[in-house]
Every structure is written in C-alpha cells, then in structure tokens.
Chains A and B, each alone.
Chain A
C-alpha cells in the first residue's frame, strides 16, 4: 500500500482540482504536494533501511501480475519528483500568467503522478501506459497557453512523441510475442540466460530507439528546444527538469538491468558523444534563456547516456548521481529564468542586463546552479562528472572522456554568456517593476541548499547508490 500512495495522492489531487477554484484549489495543491514529499521521504527511508519493496496488483505471482517495484534508485527519484513538484506548486501560486489555474494545477499533478508511476512500474506495458499519460499531461499544459507558439510546439511535440510511443508499443508487442513475458525480472532472467533463439536483442533495440527518441538523443533532439520553451516558466521547470530524466531512468533500468547486452552499450556510448556535443553547441548559438537551457538539457542527457553506456556498477552509480543532480539544477535554472522574466520582462539576453546590482540574491542562486551545471569542484555536478569520467578512463574509452571534458568547457562558455550578458552588462532600459514573491525566494533557497549539500556531502547519496543491484539476473 505504501508503494501506491505516492501515485494515488497526486492523481486524486489532479482529479479534484478540476472541480474547485480559488484559494481552496491552491491550498489543496500545496498541502498535497507537501504530503507527497513526506510520503516520498518515508518510502526512501523504508527502502534504504529494509531493502526493495514490491507490490503485486491482485496478488498474482511474479512474472504474470502487474508489479510496482521500488529500490533505492526509484525511491530517490520519487523523492526528487516530489521535491521539484512542491517547489513548482509554490511558484505557481503567484505566477502572473496563469489565468486558467484549475487546469494548470490538474495537469501538473497528473504529470507528477504519471512520472512517479513510470519510476515504479516494473512491467513494460505498464510503463507504456504511464508514458502515454505523461505525454497527455504535457500536451495539455502546452496548449493551455493558447498562443501560436504554444499550439505549434504542442503539435511538434505530439508528432514526435507519438511516433516514439508507437515504436515502443510495437517493440513491446514483439517482445511479448517472442518470449511471452513483459515483467522486468522475467525479461532479465531471459536476457541473462543468453538463449539467442528469440531475437530479444532486436526487439529490445527497438524499445531503446523509442526511449532514445523520448530522451532527445542525437539525431532526434530538435523537437526538444522547439517545444519546451512554449511553457510558462514554473511548468517549464517541472517538464524540463523531469521529463527527459525520467526517460533516462527507464533507459538505465532497461539497458542496465533488464536487457543487458554489450551491443546496446557500445551504440549508446557513441550516440552519447554526439548528443553531448551537438546540444552544447546549439546552446552556444542561442540568446533566449529558455532555448539555451533547453539545449543544455540535450547536452546533459548526452552525458547521462555516456554513463548508461559504461554499464558497470561504478558507471551506473555516477549516472544516477548525475541524474539526481541534474533534475535539481535544471529545475532551479528554469525557475530562475522565470524570475528573470518577471524582473526584466524578457527571456532574450540581448534585451536585458544588470541583474547583479539589482537582484543580488537571485544572482548568487543562479551562480550556484550554473557552476553546478558546469561541474566546478565543490558543487554537485562535479561529483557526478568525476564518477562518470573516472569510469570512462578505467574502461579506456579515452575518446568518450575527451568529448565529456570538451562538453564541460563549452557548458562553461554558455553559462558565462548568461552571466556576463544578463547579470553584469548594464541594463539597456528600465528594469520591470514586478515584485518577486518572497515564497519563491524561500523555496528556491531550499532547492539551492539541497544542491549545495549534494556537493559538499556526496557520501550518503553515493553510499545508497552503491548498494543498488545494478545488473540483470539479480533480485530485481
């Protein structure tokens, strides 16, 4: 039951939000988000202290029933989803441009619920259903803006994601047709037994293709910066912070634990290298804050893929650490972009400046997140990158390591571009008069504190991740 609660709470809130308005709506959503945070913490403590938990619907035996499964990795992910969603909810209370608040809250909670369900699902078809729900929620959030940009973004996002889900569905159908199972542990056993009679590698490859499309890996990433920036800022933090990372998490599970084939790892590694570089070069070209940050998602996702490709417990630990760091930092940066928009009235770096003298606290928070994204030593990004790059060197993949380091330098370039243009350069006109609500600052400081803690004391988190069972054939 405790496994189901973190999913039931946001979905119930989502359904109720449709019918209520005003203060009640806001109050209910805030309470629900904080309750979710408590539930997630409780789940995390449970899992860390007494091992992985599993829930079979209708008590069917393991390979046949629908299963929800939580180990350290998924519990940590759920906690981060809950944290980001709570922060975003607080932001949404004061967000100026939300006219249709009920719908925004309902869809945001629906997105949170489906993200949590994706991280719990231990069955391919179940996974597909939650992915679809996530897609529907994001599409809804996009079209609520009603402008040209929003509908166009939604159309593009729909077309690409739909193609991805169709490929995923066919792959699932073929896997089921070939081996008769969809449950992760059953598939893991089959793939570990090295019986090549059922072409699982081929169908699994199709599944990975669908996931890579949803992640935004190399040839198929153009939809991401074209779609994300049409969302209003707090929701952009939710979507940009979580969506692709959830898909990376699923890829970690599938290529690392369920269908553990060497062929996949090699392919993902090279894709990762190109993804990293193309993302960061795209970011260097743009001037719109949201576009820059969206391209950085692509580049960071490439880095995560590199970790997935390493496929050793050490590499996976690094990937997971980097994944968690990235969710927090990315969400924080998008929220900062929102606050910059409130202060300066623009997302375009050429049209504003001088934020450092005007908003020193905001600047410090931005600097912390930006340095963390780059991976400057005492920050959280450093440890994730260190773990991954050390593992690439151990495996003697020197080219991969070099690409990762070059990406780091280029990331530094585009972050300093934001800093120089947005914060140091004198403001060309008059700063906007919108007052940033205090609550936004408070939650943002909390987020920054978590990021700082991850950087200064990475030990406990790495310990939890090292206890994780990373490979197929184990007690998944």
Chain B
C-alpha cells in the first residue's frame, strides 16, 4: 500500500466497517503483511480472513488519551521525561555525552553538564539529550553505520532504543558499546552485536537520584577507599612491611621509614 495524489479511483476508496478498512470495489481489506508485528512491516490489501492483522482501531485524536508526561514506559524500560545519566559499567564509570550536537562520546561525569543527561520522550519514543533537546540518540547513516551520534529527532528505527538487562538495545538486536573495550576519555560509542562484556553494560541513573562522585574525605564505595585521604599499605606478612617505592619507580615492601614514598 502506498499514498498517492488523490483521484478517487476505486483503488483509493475504502470504508471502515467492523474494524476493517475495506476497498469499496473489490472488498479486500487492509492487512499487515504476514501478520508480522514488527517495526516498519508493510501493509497490503488482502482477502478478508478475519485475523488480527486485518483488524484496526480508528482513534480520533481529539478523544485519544493524552501522551503521558511522566511514569514508567515498560516497553522501553525508561521513566518518561526524567533525565538520567547513561553510565558505563567499566571501572571509570564514565557517562555518554552528546558532544556538540553530533557525536556521542564517553566522558567523565561533570556536575550539571546537561549534555551528559538524557531523557525518554514519550511522544517520539526516543532518548533525547537534555542539552540539545531537539536531538536524540541515533545510529548514523539511517542505521547503516555502527557509529552512534546525537542528531535531530525523527523517531525512525535507528533512534529507538530500550533498556533491558543493562543493555541499551535496538530493535535489530544490536547494543550500545564502548568501542574497542577501552575505558578512556572521549572514547567513541557504537552499536555492536551483543556479547555481554562490560563495555556493553550500562546503568541508567536518574539525575534526581544521582549522588554525585564522592568528594575529598568521602568513601568511594566502588573502590573501597576514601578520596584524597593519605594512607599506608601494610603487608599482612609477619613483619608487617609497608608498600614503598624505590628508584622512583619500582614498588617493594619495606619497613616503615617515615618517607613519603
């Protein structure tokens, strides 16, 4: 089926009856090809078989439910309109940032940086950037590339992602990953077939629940250490020697000696 300039030929005239769109002339009905309930499945005219692929509901917009502006969208796994960080599970726990309304990079978290914040938009069903609000997470080249960027929202399949089991997944089964498994600043983010390694795992952390990184003197729970609080490292061997540095480079154990090494 296609759209075409109006000419009212028999092939353009349909009535809506018993939840079917029926051609006025040949009585064929509007049908989802193969009954495939998948994104962008074509529709066609087909003999009436009464299946669900041929049953349609006309929902007049003036009486339709308004799009939700908050709450959880189960299909996509995100809260609606609630900004979040997309934080990698790799050790540095960097976040995905929209860089200059174009590429999406891995960056260290920075306070109040809205380019690092994303939100699920219920109307477009995309992940919009909280700084570039007309831009959404997108697979470059209309989905033909593996590069991920942030570009003008269009709601096509290459902009639809759901959060599932720590993966950011698209409908073609690929997942968001840090390219080359390298946990580095400005590292590129791409789509890749899932393999489950840590560079494909993400936490969605809502900004209103984000505790921020621990400051000086505070415990970093992930690393088990207090931030910028000086300590010794003492061996559990009998003599209780201290971790030390010799020749400006090599690490050894030594008796406590009061030096900054």
- B partners with A: no
- Which residues of A come within 8 Å of B, CB atoms? none
